[in-house]
A and B are shown apart, each in its own frame.
Chain A
């Protein structure tokens, strides 16, 4: 009983205040703040085969034994060979001044002399040394001194910058983030070349020590949102943050809601545009996806291309997108409600044609719709991760062969196939994959309610959904803003419609930004 109560209590605690899984403690973890010892480092790390210990001597006034520790595969070997080892072992040895150096001041002297290395700094703690080595830096130890030098020489095989497959566009930039954090920050920096772009570094994961960067624009991002982001991130206690996406679950507001409250993208232009609107981005090493907070429901209905085409065209496209979303949510349940309870709203000829189509179908409309929707879900899931040619085959077999056979066998009516087909196509209009899944989930209870209580049931489902959406917040911002609470400017500027760029003179007021002026004065 006690453990059950504890489990229930755990489940009701918000994830960003919850501590999960205590990491294993090694003896070296107790020594993180102790003075540096090359011997101790060696004892601890030589059990791993990928750690390279390169020993050599510097012939100064006296012979100083040195040890360079790097991780194979995380180091740029050309930097290591040409700008560290070669300089230390050949160039410096030839310098007559170098011969006068003693072991006592060698760390500071080498720090000054090792000019070719752009990132170099002195450390004196065990924990620091281990973190730098395992992150891909080279750490140079001198004899038994309790100080060492960290030389930035990270370099590993990484994916080239390419267009994200899930966010392809016709117009606009074609570059996407990669798995390397520094590449990602550089892509962002190329978009916003202003000192107000801040990149705050953190490390998450007790074992993975994943590098995380929180990015925002000073004086634009709300200090409250920023401090809340940093607070939630700092409270994450877990073994490993293998992918940045797992951070989402730890910091989101409504963990039991199907609706996403954190936005993610792989596009630098999207991140840059959102930072300019006052949002805060979270990048993690090893993940091309960057998280954005706070977000509203309307954000998930927008794509970057909306801002690259002309406003008038985008207004029409957004209208089609919202209409598609409505169809994706409601089409099967309305069909069920009409055919089961409210035939009176149909014109007689249509009612007769539906009745003729359903003749011989042994199931009620609800079961028919559930069967078809489940089949659609199975087909979608089956085709998602398969190689493209097989995925296409599954689509053809599912949609054409099974659908046609089901109609011919009188298992489903032709109209139901049309309704489910339209629903499936309409659901692909929703630009966000996360929101698309939420829509797919909400369709099922709505169908059940429509099958049991007609339009009244649909109403119950819609109002319950609306109340749920109204009670969600994303980092303090109401999820249905700017519709409720009403923010006229944001509503007219960039929600159902997109105002021309020259009319966007102020930021959309969704987030409590410090500087509401967008600076986009336009040309008109």
Chain B
């Protein structure tokens, strides 16, 4: 069976958690917390830590099982099936939305004349290649692509320094802590996407005591580092555009890319960076495809090939249902807020609680 190392767990976790969250992060937190929005990012991401640790403790107790299999063992077969089916439907739906977001990013910013199905088709080919290659290859993919994405984000931030508008960030906490808290609540579902993915990944994690200890520390690293990156981007967007303009920009980072100029030689480098953002999008969509695939295989006992037949049609239809960028962003936010967050919260807490209670008895 495939296994990933603790370092690969770190990179895979970071890649999946980050995904393309750096696009809407500025807009989302600025709309709730204004110029203090950047303060909301790290606390929101740290919210995912207890849930991830709960999952790792379950992995220690029930080795070589994914969350659905553990649920079947702890809560009974039918509860396992119910949670499993919910996870499958949510992951396929959310994966489809993210695929559409990737397409939207390209067709809006750099290639408006190319039909969106061409992006979608080529993107799905890559997702299928990655998923077919297995979780080990996906982890290795993250080992290469995530550092590049991180460097590109930091590079974008650094190259934006000449555009910083002094005074956009000040004064701090003008309206108190309350708006920041609202900002935190807005993006709390994002780390829960990683928690849900981790539920499927449990089966492929290293099983040794020392390695599980290492992974507990790596969970902190993942969420803190991704939080820091998102905070940096939010900070830069607010600093460059100001809170009002940042709220209006769905893809603030792409607009930043358009404004960058290097030594009066290369300008509008967003088209180069989009190749890198494409990798981030690929990781996220593939992660949800994997989640759906593992779910279908576990719940219905289907073989891999047949499970693909189940997922591909549904996931490829979803992007066609949303044609406007604003609708897409609303759909993603709603899916995060009303599907992923409640499912992850209820499922992990219930399972961990029952397991802990049984052990005490």
Contacts and interface: CB of A to CB of B under 8 A. Distances in A.
A455 B274 contact: yes
Nearest to A341: B111
B275 A459 contact: yes
Interface string B227-250: 000000000000000000000000
**Majority DSSP secondary structure for residues of B touching A:** helix
B271 A455 contact: yes
Given A453-B114, A486-B7, A459 B274 contact: yes
Given A459-B275, A471-B137, A454 B111 contact: yes
Interface string B264-285: 1111110110110011001000
A484 interface: yes
B271 A344 contact: yes
A171 B143 CA distance: 36
B75 interface: no
Interface stretch (B40-48, B88-96, B124-132, B341-349): B124-132
Contacts of A480: 140, 144
B277 to A, nearest CB: 9
B122 interface: yes
Interface in B101-123: 106, 110-111, 114, 118-119, 122-123
B7 A467 contact: no
B214 interface: no
B132 to A, nearest CB: 8
A454 B274 CA distance: 11
A386 interface: no
B12 to A, nearest CB: 11
**Majority DSSP secondary structure for residues of A touching B:** helix
B8 interface: yes
Contacts of A478: 140
Q: By CB atoms of chain B within 10 A, which of A456, A458, A463, A468 has the most?
A: A456
Contact of B266 (A345, A463, A470): A345
Nearest to B11: A486
A519 interface: no
A347 B267 contact: yes
B137 A467 contact: yes
Nearest to A463: B126
Interface in A325-349: 341-342, 344-347
A341 B145 CA distance: 25
Q: By CB atoms of chain A within 10 A, which of B126, B137, B141, B144 has the most?
A: B137
A342 B271 contact: yes
A459 B7 CA distance: 26
Given A453-B122, A456-B111, A483 B143 contact: yes
B266 A347 contact: yes
A485 B122 CA distance: 26
A454 B144 contact: no
Contacts of B118: 453
Contacts of B133: 467, 470-471
Contacts of B321: none
Q: By CB atoms of chain B within 10 A, which of A464, A468, A470 has the most?
A: A470
Nearest to A468: B129
B125 A464 contact: yes
Given A453-B114, A454-B271, A463 B278 contact: yes
B272 A463 contact: no
Interface in B247-266: 264-266
A462 B118 CA distance: 17
A379 B152 CA distance: 39
Contact of B110 (A342, A468, A484): A342
B141 A467 contact: yes
B5 interface: yes
B65 to A, nearest CB: 24
Contacts of A463: 126, 278-279, 282
B126 A455 contact: no
Given A455-B275, A467-B133, A470-B141, A460 B111 contact: no
Contact of A485 (B114, B140, B275): B140
Contacts of A346: 266
Given A455-B274, A459-B274, A467 B266 contact: no
Contacts of B265: 347
Interface in B1-25: 5, 7-8
Contacts of A455: 110, 271-272, 274-275
Contact of B275 (A345, A462, A471): A462
Given A466-B141, A486-B7, A345 B111 contact: no
A460 B271 contact: no
Contact of B267 (A345, A456, A483): A345
Given A464-B125, A486-B7, A456 B119 contact: yes
A364 B206 CA distance: 53
Interface in A468-491: 468, 470-471, 478, 480, 483-486
A190 to B, nearest CB: 40
B86 to A, nearest CB: 30
B278 A467 contact: no
A391 B268 CA distance: 45
Contacts of B114: 453, 456
A196 to B, nearest CB: 31
A341 B272 CA distance: 12
Nearest to B267: A345
Contacts of B267: 344-345, 347
Contacts of B274: 455-456, 459
A387 B251 CA distance: 60
A306 to B, nearest CB: 23
Contacts of A341: 110-111, 271
Contact of B268 (A344, A459, A460): A344
Interface in B268-317: 268-269, 271-272, 274-275, 278-279, 282
Interface in A76-128: none
B126 A345 contact: no
Report the 3 A-B pairs with minimum CB-CB distance, sorted nearest first. Answer: A484-B140, A459-B275, A484-B143
14 contacts: A344-B268, A345-B268, A456-B111, A456-B119, A459-B278, A460-B125, A463-B278, A466-B141, A466-B144, A467-B137, A470-B141, A484-B143, A485-B7, A486-B143
Given A453-B111, A468-B129, 18 more contacts: A341-B110, A344-B267, A344-B271, A345-B272, A453-B114, A454-B111, A455-B272, A456-B110, A456-B274, A460-B126, A460-B278, A464-B125, A467-B130, A471-B133, A471-B137, A480-B140, A480-B144, A485-B143
